[in-house]
């Protein structure tokens, strides 16, 4: 079971990278986005499935790694990246901007993400990235609507 928890929460061991594991986890979410972007039901299912896996396994991963929100846990970044791009137009500049915004919000943790991050277990692991993803998605929705009207 430990192997399954590590494999899942590290997103196929991307989280074990010595260089920018969170960014690699976000990039994995971007790859999934790219794979399912035109298939909204599959996209939504993938997003919900990732989120549920994160909720189910993150607390156990913290116990295994003996650290709160250990850097090896990157399923939250993959899930967050997918949510950040959910239902935004598929354009390269939108993907790049979304990636940059999501990583920025994930690192800076604007309110209430900073407070949520302090919670223990799966809630603290997953929901700070969900907040970063919501901020990113809202900004992308506004920007893409402005630029498609011009």
State the pTM of this model. Answer: 0.94
d(CA 87, CA 143): 13
Query: For residue 143, is pLDDT > 90?
Result: yes
Rounded CA Rg of the chain: 15
Apex CA 56: angle with CA 20 and CA 78, to 5°? 30
pLDDT score, position 22: 96
Query: For residue 82, is pLDDT > 90?
Result: yes
> What value does the mean pLDDT of the chain take?
95
> Would you place residue 128 in the very low, low, confident or very high pLDDT band (cuts 50, 70, 90)?
very high
**98 close to 150: Cβ distance less than 8 angstroms:** no
pLDDT score, position 28: 97
pLDDT (tens digit, 9 = 90+) per residue, 18-54? 999 999 999 999 999 999 999 999 999 999 999 999 9
pLDDT score, position 120: 81
Q: How many CA atoms lie within 13 A of 75 on its CB side?
A: 31
> Would you place residue 118 in the very low, low, confident or very high pLDDT band (cuts 50, 70, 90)?
confident
Estimate to the nearest angstrom the gap between the alpha carbon of 47 and the chain centroid.
Answer: 9
Q: b or e along 72-102 (b: 16 or more beta carbons within 10 Å of the residue's beta carbon)?
A: bbbbbbbbbbbbbbbebeeeeebbebbbebb
């Amino acid at each position: 079971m430990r192997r399954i928890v590590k494999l899942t929460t590290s997103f196929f061991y991307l989280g074990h990278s010595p260089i920018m594991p969170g960014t690699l986890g976000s990039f994995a979410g971007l790859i999934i986005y790219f794979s399912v972007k035109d298939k909204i039901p599959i996209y939504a299912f993938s997003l919900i499935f990732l989120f549920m896996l994160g909720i189910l396994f993150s607390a156990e991963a913290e116990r295994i790694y003996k650290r709160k929100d250990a850097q090896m846990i990157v399923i939250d970044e993959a899930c967050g990246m997918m949510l950040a791009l959910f239902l935004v137009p598929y354009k390269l500049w939108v993907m790049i901007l979304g990636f940059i915004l999501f990583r920025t919000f994930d690192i800076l943790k604007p309110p209430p993400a900073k407070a949520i991050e302090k919670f223990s277990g799966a809630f603290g692991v997953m929901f700070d990235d969900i907040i970063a993803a919501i901020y990113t998605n809202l900004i992308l929705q506004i920007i893409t609507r402005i630029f498609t009207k011009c």
